Amino acid sequence: MILTVIQPSYFPNLETLSRLLIADVAVWANSFLYTKHSTIHRTRIKTTNGVRWLTIPVTTKHRKYPAIVDVKIAPTQSWKAKHLKSLDLNYRNSPYYEYWEKDIQQLLMKDWIELDLLLYETTRFALECLRIKPRIIPGSQLAVVPTRSERVLTWLEQCNCNTYLVQKKDLELINHQMIEKQGARLLVHTFEHPIYHQLFDGFEKNLSALDLLFNEGGTAKSILASSIRKEDHVEFQTR
């Protein structure tokens, strides 16, 4: 069983979804610290004037370093209408926008208070559209372990997995020998961004999953799968 850890995000990008396509179990890392200017509370879309961020206003109640699970959405409703208007203006002419338009409207217009719950639902929405079905376990329900390598081992055990899917950029942050001595395996994931049809001139990477869904519809999953190079999805060999 393969485990990966994903940072909660608003309508996640393709790199995150690529790992979820491989993993059997994913830890929803809502126990990690919230950071500003990240993809936790915002997502990127393509517009006639280039890339634009759709940002959820949040409040941390004067806590400098809150966990993601403790962050609240600011008590204003205007952001919902602005996000929906931006999606409509920039994707109304994409082939599959109308297919998901009402579902997204119903999702966003709910009375959201907890940021974590909204992020989870937008991620679940993308997974359902792509027909990807990993088991997702909130990190807030798992043991708090301070060091990364020990946390990997602990979470593998708690999630009944024996293999950890790690991003290539994070390899140097993990004690490979310690993990493998405990009988666990590491799989390396290097994301190679797929090219697909987009509206407007040029191609933009690292957009919201909505961009892929609106433009490619039923072929989105196979396009996402093309981002996983066979030679990268192999057991990591320690040197």
Read off φ and ψ for residue 14, nearest 5 degrees: -75, -30
Q: Does residue 203 sit within a domain?
A: yes
The answer to whether 196 and 223 have CB atoms below 8 angstroms apart is: yes
What residues have CB less than 8 Å from 173, skipping those under 6 apart? 148
| Number of domains composing the chain | 1
Who's near 71: CB < 8 A, 6+ residues apart?
34, 41, 58, 59, 60, 114, 115, 116
Q: Are 114 and 72 in contact (CB under 8 A)?
A: yes
Question: Residues in the chain, how many?
Answer: 239
| Alpha carbons 62 and 60: distance in angstroms, whole number | 6
pLDDT in tens, 109-135: 999 999 999 999 999 999 999 999 999
In a domain, 165, yes or no: yes
238 within some domain? no
What is the mean predicted confidence (pLDDT) over 35-40? Answer: 90
pLDDT over 60 at 230, yes or no: no
Is 178 a domain residue? Answer: yes
On whether the pTM is more than 0.85, the answer is: yes
Question: Percent of the chain scored above 70 by pLDDT?
Answer: 95
- Residue 59 forms part of a structural domain: yes
Position 39 pLDDT exceeds 60:
yes
What's the pLDDT tens digit per position in 76-94?
879 999 999 999 999 999 9
User: If residue 189 lies in a helix (H) or strand (E), which one and from where to where?
Assistant: strand 185-189
What's the pLDDT score for residue 239?
24
Structural domain containing residue 168: 2-225
pLDDT band at residue 169 under the 50/70/90 scheme: confident
Does 235 fall in a domain? Answer: no
The pair of three-digit structure tokens given for residue 177, joined into one six-digit string: 């020998």
Is residue 237 in some structural domain? Answer: no
Asked whether residue 129 is domain-assigned, the answer is yes
